[in-house]
Amino acid sequence: MTSSTTPSRVHPRLRRLFSGWVGGWNRIGGQTQFYGFTLRSMYDAVVHYKVEIVRLIAQMSLGTGALALIGGTVVVVGFLTLSAGALVAVQGYNQLSGIGVEALTGFVSAYVNVRLLAPVNAGIALAATIGAGATAQLGAMRIAEEIDALEVMGIRSVAYLASTRVLAGVIVVIPLYCVAVISSFAAARLGTIVIYGQSSGVYDHYFNTFLITTDLLWSFLQTIAMAIVIMLIHTYYGYTASGGPAGVGEAVGRAVRASLVSAVAVCLLGSLAIYGQSGNFHLSS
Amino acid sequence: MALRSSMSKPLVGVGGFYAMALDTLMLLPRRPFAVREFWLQCWFIARVSLVPALLLAVPFTVLVAFTLNVLLIDFGAGDFAGTGAGIGLAQLGPVVTVLVVAGAGATAICADLGARTIREELDALRVLGINPLQSLVVPRVLAATVVAVLLSAIVSLITLVASFFFAVFIQDATPGAFVAGLTLLTGPVDIVVLFIKAALFGMAASLVGCYKGISVGGGPAGVGNAVNETVVYSFMALFVLNTIITAAQFGS
């Protein structure tokens, strides 16, 4: 005999399916509400919690704990884009020499780095370092009931914790993106010239001819949009973490997954909207 | 003195990681092999990674296909879209796989092991005479490696299908030329390298996750930080490995 006291309902399978849908729908609604509230509270954050924003900017750019020892977020971003730029040199030079036009490696660097690698890499690095760090911090605060304590003390917890982090993330991403672009250009150039022995004049000629400055600005805007999305997702998962120490870790994992997918989606939609079907190449100049 | 300890801390971390990786490799052929744990972990990693891998592969592919095809169409070489898709496949497949295996699998491994460490379950295992490396780490590392290879196959398939549909139906490439151009620059060697890459990436990511998990300290905040570091270090390892393997492939 079963020991449960509630009688079984009719159509249990249908009911479970339905409640699953409703649960998912409610979760999406809750997330949207949180994002809206976070964005709306930004004004509060700027007015009331300036010191906290400055503190977070310092913390995010230099990193905390073990990350600070290896040089913080700036070094991680530079490192990731450096190796991606080297990949452009390796892949671009070899594939192009396969069809006899390895002189165009500089063009590939100017085109692929700007449109594809720099924004995507900056997004990935941002999600991994600043984003995951924010989730871990907020999750630990939630588990230790520090967020409830903030609310009790009359501090607007969303503005104080989430909005400040989104703002700080957007400010930090500006120098980070510059580091990303410079290091990917430098790595592609060094790899092609020093390792594969192409003459620097050939590389620089094609690089400078095909580098489009407006594209650089657009990809900068794309990165900022990605930063906003990533920080919103990561603060949400941290703010709503539950289930003890393991729960914090799981929240970080789920946040990284969600933010990677949405960051790449934002990048794609941005590219489709901005660049359209034209390459804008300086072919005849 | 303080300076010296702060200088040596990263080195201690690196040394500890290599020591654990070596121990794990030495324990691989040693019996008893935790078969049940291995299957459970395979299923677990596949379950958390499959949907994100699909969701990440499609926009990534379309982004690469879009960027490359715009270039090719401008040159009047739109029929070579398939070649671009081939290059995209060889480069993207393993990267997308490992972003997901590191972001989903390794973080979950680290959170799980980290929670066990701060509850002192690993110490309890050692007291019982069970080597936690053998019973917990080895099956996880193997499972992540196997799942990464399997996932990279699925991701490659999706990459091809998505870039085909995008190139043919949206950017008006010729389907026959697409398929013909596919193997122009991408051959069987690239596919073998793709699987080798995926296996190495999966192994590296899960080793980082396991090391960070069993060396956690400092309560719930410590677990969160360990997971954060897992993501950062495994992504860094991935990018370095990717560049080195690609260079080795073309260098030989």
How many folded domains does chain A comprise?
A: 1
Residue B65 CA neighbour count, 13 Å, CB half: 30
**At A36, is the pLDDT very low, low, confident or very high (cuts 50, 70, 90)?**
very high
Domain span including residue A128: 50-273
pTM of the model: 0.85
Residue B7 resides in a domain: no
| A95 vs B171, B185, B236: nearest CB | B185
Element housing A77 (H / E):
helix A72-98
Residue A283 resides in a domain: no
Dist CA B50 CA A31 (whole Å) = 23
Cβ-contact A48, A253 below 8 angstroms? no
Chain B nearest C-alpha distance from A41 (Å): 26
**At A285, is the pLDDT very low, low, confident or very high (cuts 50, 70, 90)?**
very low
Task: Identify the sign of the CA torsion B21, B22, B26, B27.
Answer: negative
Residue A60 resides in a domain: yes
* pLDDT reading at B61 higher than 80: yes
* pLDDT reading at A232 higher than 90: yes
Q: Cβ contact (<8 Å) for A253 and B48?
A: yes
Residue A91 resides in a domain: yes
| B114 vs A80, A83, A245: nearest CB | A245
Residue B132 resides in a domain: yes
DSSP letter at A101 equals -
What's the pLDDT score for residue B39? Answer: 92
Residue B162 resides in a domain: yes
Residue B174 resides in a domain: yes
Residue A204 resides in a domain: yes
Cβ-contact B241, B197 below 8 angstroms? yes
Alpha helices in B75-187 (DSSP H): 81-100, 107-118, 121-127, 132, 138-165, 175-181
Residue B168 resides in a domain: yes
In percent, the amount of chain A with pLDDT more than 70 equals 92
Chain A / chain B CB contacts < 8 angstroms: 188
Dist CA B116 CA B214 (whole Å) = 8
**At A1, is the pLDDT very low, low, confident or very high (cuts 50, 70, 90)?**
very low
Residue A201 resides in a domain: yes
Q: Cβ contact (<8 Å) for A249 and B236?
A: no
Residue B247 in contact with partner chain A when CB distance is under 8 A = yes
Task: Determine if the peptide bond prior to B32 is cis (ω within 30°).
Answer: yes
DSSP string, B183-201: TSS--HHHHHHHHHHHHHH
Residue A70 in contact with partner chain B when CB distance is under 8 A = yes
Q: Cβ contact (<8 Å) for B247 and A76?
A: no
Q: Which of A193-202, B71-80, B182-191 has the lowest mean pLDDT?
A: B71-80
More confident residue, B78 or B40: B40
Residue A45 resides in a domain: no
| A252 vs B107, B115, B236: nearest CB | B107
Mean pLDDT, chain B, integer = 83
Residue B2 resides in a domain: no
How many folded domains does chain B comprise?
A: 1
More confident residue, A39 or A245: A39
Q: Cβ contact (<8 Å) for A248 and B227?
A: yes
Domain span including residue B107: 52-242
B70 contacts in chain A (CB < 8 Å) = 275, 277-279
Residue A90 in contact with partner chain B when CB distance is under 8 A = yes
The string of pLDDT tens digits covering residues A10-24 is: 888 888 888 888 988
Mutate to test the interface with A, among B193, B194, B206, B232 (most CBs of A within 10 A): B232
What's the pLDDT score for residue A236? Answer: 93
Q: Which of the residue ranges A3-17, A84-98, A218-232, B43-57 has the most confident prediction, judged by mean pLDDT?
A: A218-232
Residue B166 in contact with partner chain A when CB distance is under 8 A = no
Q: Once rounded to an integer, what is the mean pLDDT over residues B67-77? A: 76
Cβ-contact B159, B95 below 8 angstroms? no
Mutate to test the interface with A, among B185, B227, B236, B240 (most CBs of A within 10 A): B227
Asked casually if ipTM beats, i.e. exceeds, 0.90, the reply is no
- Chain centre to alpha carbon of residue B227: 15
- Chain centre to alpha carbon of residue B64: 20
Residue B246 in contact with partner chain A when CB distance is under 8 A = yes
The string of pLDDT tens digits covering residues A248-277 is: 878 888 888 889 889 988 988 888 888 876
Residue A157 resides in a domain: yes
Would residue B10 be called left, alpha or beta, if left means φ above 0 and alpha means ψ between -120 and 50 degrees? alpha
Q: Cβ contact (<8 Å) for B6 and A69?
A: yes
DSSP string, A194-246: IIS---HHHHHHHHHHH--HHHHHHHHHHHHHHHHHHHHHHHHHHHT--SHHH
**At A283, is the pLDDT very low, low, confident or very high (cuts 50, 70, 90)?**
low
The string of pLDDT tens digits covering residues B184-212 is: 777 788 888 888 888 998 899 999 999 98
Q: Which of the residue ranges A56-60, B81-85, B194-198 has the most confident prediction, judged by mean pLDDT?
A: B194-198
The string of pLDDT tens digits covering residues B106-142 is: 888 888 888 888 888 888 999 998 888 888 889 999 9
Residue A25 resides in a domain: no
Q: Once rounded to an integer, what is the mean pLDDT over residues B146-174? A: 86
Report the 10 Å Cβ neighbour count for A188: 30
What's the pLDDT score for residue A3? Answer: 55
Residue A144 in contact with partner chain B when CB distance is under 8 A = yes
Burial class (CB in 10 A: 0-12, 13-18, 19+), B202: buried
What 3-state class would DSSP assign to A70? Answer: coil
3-state SS, one letter per residue, for B52-76: HHHHHHHHHHHHHHHHHHHHHHHCC
Element housing B23 (H / E):
helix B2-27
Residue A136 CA neighbour count, 13 Å, CB half: 29
What is the length of chain A?
Answer: 285
Q: Once rounded to an integer, what is the mean pLDDT over residues A164-180? A: 89
